[in-house]
Amino acid sequence: MKQFKRITLALFLFVGFFVRADEGMWFLMFIDRLNHRDMQKMGLQLTAEEIYSINHSSLKDAVVQFNGGCTAELISKDGLLLTNHHCGYDAIAELSTPENDYLTNGYWAADRGQELKPKSLYVRFFVRMDDCTKRILAKVSDDMSENERDKIIRQEIALIEKENSDEGKYVVSVRSFFQGNEFYYFVYQDYKDVRLVGTPPNSIGKFGGDTDNWEWPRHTGDFSMFRVYADANGNPADYSTSNVPLHPKHHLPINLNGVKEGDFAMIMGYPGRTNRWLPAGGIDQNVKYAYPAWVEASKTAMDAMKVYMDQDANVRLNYASKYARTANYWKNRQGMIDALTGFQTAASKAKNEAKFDAWANKPENKATYGSVVSTINNYYAATNDKARHDNYLSILFRNAEYASISRGLGAQLMAYAKADNTKQTAMKAELVAAINEFFATTHGPAELDILINGLNLYAAKANFELVDGVAAMYADGNCANEIRAMYAMSILASQNRMLAFLEFPSEDQLSNDPLYKLSSNILAQLIKRTDELTALNNDFNRAYRLLVAGLRESGMSTVLYPDANSTLRLTYGKVSALPADKRNDAKINNYTTLQGTINKYKPNDEEFDLPQRLIDLNAQKDFGRYADKAGYMPVNFLTNNDITGGNSGSPVLNGKGELIGIAFDGNIEAMAGDVIFDNKLQKTINVDIRYVLFIIDKYAGAKHIVDEMTIVP
């Protein structure tokens, strides 16, 4: 209720206050036709060709997808890469030990020989894209079933991807847009030798923790630095000491002049997922069924992890990434519930769908669109309870290693048991390494509690057909005794028992192992599809595709861009303030300062502690050339760009294509933004590039890293 009141009050405070936000996550290939003139009026000084070019270097060559889930940018001619601290978190945690705890203490490579290689980390360069809609849709017809349509489309996609891969040189992905009404293919090149160059300590890179996450004012130095390596010819290569820094086609120059209200700002990156076309029934399902289950199940898992993370440094490092990811989405989903409820988004969508339904049932439209809205509404009514069930179970599957082990290590053991002696010999060394890694990075007592607590919550709250065997386990209102007995008996709960299994593998023994059976049953329940549900899904998919087509045809939707789906997009807007906030010492509430960071300082607090050196630099006003001309040290600033998850780490650029910041978060009041864009509330929270360089140079003393960047006057 408190959150609802905050959002409602914000609606009244914000009216008339803002620079207009520009909605849209745009394809680069259409910038010239759709956006360039508007962007020029707002302050862009680049040509469309300088943003996206196939034949010449352009901005797109400096922006990469980072490890499949974030964005990063090249900032030197030697492959230096900048992204968020929370994007590099997994790699930093992996490289950390209690003796060399880079998460807590930070790390700065004194030279390239000290740059650290995580086991698995890659970046993806965007080469080009093209429209293949006509080719694909020419293969299907309206009288096909959805299954027939999907099969033919998949076949054509496979051909397009093969044709453009250049015999494996490129990764090609054909993606559906506007719910299957348009198709484009994307050509990428992956580089897998990526090494850690530098990271601030958690007390800077994660300052504010979960409390400040999605909140403004913000004071977080959310950045980390890596380097991309290639072979001697600049081609992708597996890790080797003979590899050399990649010389990218383009790297971003850095502007230290700072930002002010109304300055043009554009962001390029890989936004993960939006649902701007989501029907009213889908919004209601998320708000009332799916997201509450997600929030509750996530909190249950976090609480179980935290107990053991606080007790043991090894456990803290091993579970840091999982905990951070879970906490991030936990707060995000609660913010979505609050925002979508506060804005009555479902009711607004329902009104528009009622108008569409009237248009759809006109004689000239009825044959194609007449049943679209009713089919969609029937689908959601029939799947609400399942959505709640699936979210309780999927969060358990995501967080409890033994809930998902049948799909991971357990599946490898089963393949080993089924193999002949020759294949087993070839597989054994890799399996031994996987087993040792599993037990080095998981903590048995923590995993037991995550599984027990999550399964108890699921059994009590799912209100749906339960995983096979769980109802009996929960008969007395607690699965703990049964799970502990399973753990005591299971091959999978003991490193020694797993290694012994490799010597005498038995398919029957593994298939009857209690934890393996439980995990297999959980997975089976997650993927279970009755004939009724399959029919509902097919009808819904067709209806949703036609809804989007009809909304575009009728002009009842003004959305001109497709939903985000982890493909490269550009969004543009301006530096934009929120109403004055007494928690922010800044003169205009579109930026924060290092003094504001110090004002939040709480010694030895997990979220708000600070390094003494940073406090001393602020006291001495020793900011070097990175201070604002007004004398303060800037930390974060706001723009009104249209972003979502996956944009983390995206470069924030001025009108000349110079780097002025790194996007890292949104504001809690606009958590409905994945579903409906609000040009009054939508904000992007960015790290000021001056703070990044200040931390590297003045705080860390790693000026050699700054020296390889291109700093513009």
- pTM for this predicted structure: 0.91
CB neighbour list of residue 50: distance below 8 Å, 6 or more residues apart: 58, 59, 657
Tracing tokens 């891969």 back to the chain, one arrives at 165
Torsion of CA 501, 503, 508, 513, to 10 degrees: -10
Between CA 588 and CA 636 the distance in angstroms is 12
How many CB atoms within 10 Å of residue 318? 22
Residue owning tokens 């700054």: 706
Q: Each residue of 161-196: b (16+ CB within 10 Å) or e? A: beebeeeeebbbbbbbbbbbebbbbbbbbebebbbb
Q: How far apart are CA 24 and CA 686, in angstroms?
A: 18
d(CA 115, CA 225): 10
Query: Exactly one of 86, 219, 251, 389 is catalytic; which is it?
Result: 86
pLDDT tens-digit map of 468-504: 999 999 999 999 999 999 999 999 999 999 999 999 9
548-578 pLDDT tens trace:
999 999 999 878 889 999 999 999 999 999 9
Q: Report which residue type is found at 553.
A: E
pLDDT of 392 > 80? The answer is: yes
Q: What is the pLDDT of residue 13?
A: 30
Q: What is the pLDDT of residue 713?
A: 75
Share of the chain above pLDDT 90, in %: 91
Q: Mutual orientation of helices 313-342 and 372-399 as an angle, nearest 10°?
A: 160
Q: What is the 3-state secondary structure (H, E, C) of 120-182?
A: CCCEEEEEEEEECHHHHHCCCCCCCCHHHHHHHHHHHHHHHHHHCCCCCCCEEEEEEECCCCE
Strands 254-255 and 711-712: parallel
Bridge partner list, 177: 182
Structure-block tokens of residue 403 = 């809930």
Say how far apart CA 473 and CA 478 lie, in whole Å: 7
Average pLDDT, the chain: 94
* For residue 349, pLDDT beyond 60: yes
CA–CA distance from 135 to each of 153, 157, 560 (Å)? 10, 10, 22
Lookup result for tokens 């490799």: 502
In what helix (H) or strand (E) does residue 197 lie, and over which residues does it extend?
strand 193-199
CA distance 175 to 241: 36
With 0-12 / 13-18 / 19 or more C-beta atoms within 10 angstroms meaning exposed / middle / buried, residue 333 is buried
CA 516, distance to chain mean position in Å, is 30
* Model confidence at 134: pLDDT above 70: yes
Which residue out of 648, 665, 674, 688 is catalytically annotated?
648
Q: Among 6-15, 569-578, 585-594, 647-656, which stretch is predicted with the lowest mean pLDDT?
A: 6-15
Kindly compute the dihedral angle of the four CA atoms of residues 82, 88, 94, 96, in this order, to the nearest 10 degrees: 70
Residue 19 predicted with pLDDT over 70? no
- Cβ atoms of 548 and 561 within 8 Å: the answer is no
Q: What is the pLDDT of residues 24-45, one digit of tens each?
A: 999 999 999 889 999 999 999 9
* pLDDT of the residue at 284: 97
Distance CA 712, CA 267 (A): 19
Q: Is 605 helix (H, G, I), strand (E, B) or coil?
A: coil
Residue 86 a catalytic site member = yes
pLDDT at 678: 81
Phi, psi of 660 (to 5 degrees): -120, -10
**Identity at 510, one-letter amino acid code:** L
Query: 3-class SS at 552?
Result: helix
The DSSP bridge partners found for residue 590 are: none
Listed in sequence order, the DSSP H helices in 419-494 are 421-441, 444-461, 470-473, 480-489
End-to-end CA distance of the chain: 49
Contact 356, 373 (CB under 8 A): yes
Q: Can you list the alpha helix ranges (DSSP code H) found in 164-245?
A: 202-205, 209-212
Give the per-residue pLDDT at 673.
84
**Phi, psi at residue 544, to the nearest 5°?**
-65, -45
| CA torsion through residues 620, 626, 631, 634, sign | negative
Structure tokens at 380: 């959601």
Residue 245: name the closest of 80, 364, 379 by CA: 80
- Per residue in 504-543, pLDDT (tens digit) is 999 999 999 999 999 999 999 999 999 999 999 999 999 9
Name beta bridge partners: 123: 66, 191
**Residue range 537-549, pLDDT digits in tens:** 999 999 999 999 9
Pull the structure tokens for residue 506.
């038995």
Q: Is the pLDDT of residue 361 over 70?
A: yes
Q: What is the CA radius of gyration of the chain?
A: 26
**Of 64-78, 659-673, 695-709, where does mean pLDDT reach its minimum?**
659-673
**Using 50, 70 and 90 to split pLDDT, how confident is the model at 20?**
very low
For residue 364, is pLDDT > 60? yes
Going by C-alpha positions, the residue among 224, 227, 233 that lies closest to residue 193 is 227
Q: Length of the chain in residues, anyone?
A: 713
For residue 704, the 8-state DSSP code is: H
Catalytic, out of 222, 513, 642, 688: 222
> From CA 604, how far away is CA 435, in angstroms rounded?
37
Q: 616 an active-site residue?
A: no
Contacts of 78 (CB under 8 A, 6+ apart): 227, 245, 246, 247, 708
Residue 639 CA, chain-centre distance (Å), reads: 20
Q: With 70 as the cut, is the pLDDT of residue 275 above it?
A: yes
pLDDT at 12 over 90: no
Q: Does 222 participate in catalysis according to the annotation?
A: yes
Whether 663 contacts 263, CB under 8 Å: no
pLDDT of 16 reads 31
| pLDDT at 532 (0 to 100) | 95
Report the sign of the C-alpha dihedral through residues 682, 684, 685, 691, in that order.
negative
What pLDDT is recorded for position 2?
37
Mean pLDDT of 45-56: 96
For residue 18, pLDDT beyond 60 = no
Domains recognised in the chain with CATH numbers: 2-122+192-275+562-712 (2.40.10.120), 124-191 (no CATH), 280-532 (no CATH)
pLDDT at 557: 87
CA nearest 229: which of 385, 123, 352? 123
Q: Alpha carbon 255 to chain centroid distance? A: 27
3-state secondary structure of 657: coil
